[in-house]
Amino acid sequence: MLENDLTLAAMAEALAKSADYRVLRRLVPRSTFPPCTGQSTKTGILLDVETTGLDQRKDEIIELGMVKFDYLPDGRIAGIRDVFSSFNEPSEPIPLEVTALTGITNEMVAGQHIEQDNTSTRPLYPRSWMTP
């Protein structure tokens, strides 16, 4: 670790010990998973949706993220199959409190749209995700 990394780690550790702070750490994607030879797996999809607010009548989706994964009967992740992520530009600017919470800015979503056509039969996610 670099000296700066050690300093940041020490600061994060000190803050985490305080009741006044909650420390969030960046998740590092794993590329290896425990072997599951001979064990049955199931497939799950983790869905994350970010919106401009909590009112379903007026607020809009600004980001849709999904991870398709296999998991073992004991709940351990056996592997990642696919990842989907897309931004969507809302019709109104993103409220400052939403940007503070999500980190998503108007510049990040400018000109972006979640791929879909005008029919209700086409899902928002890749069709290949429908099969195991």
> What's the pLDDT at 121?
47
Sheet of 77-87: strands edge to edge?
42-51, 61-71, 77-87
- Can you tell me whether residue 88 is helix, strand or coil? coil
- Section 45-55 average pLDDT: 94
**In contact, 126 and 101? CB cutoff 8 Å:** no
> What's the distance, CA 13 to chain centroid?
25
Minimum mean pLDDT range among 32-36, 37-41, 66-70, 128-132: 128-132
Confidence of residue 37 (pLDDT cuts 50, 70, 90): confident
Q: What domains can you pick out in the chain, each with its CATH number?
A: 38-130 (3.30.420.10)
23 vs 63: which has the higher pLDDT: 63
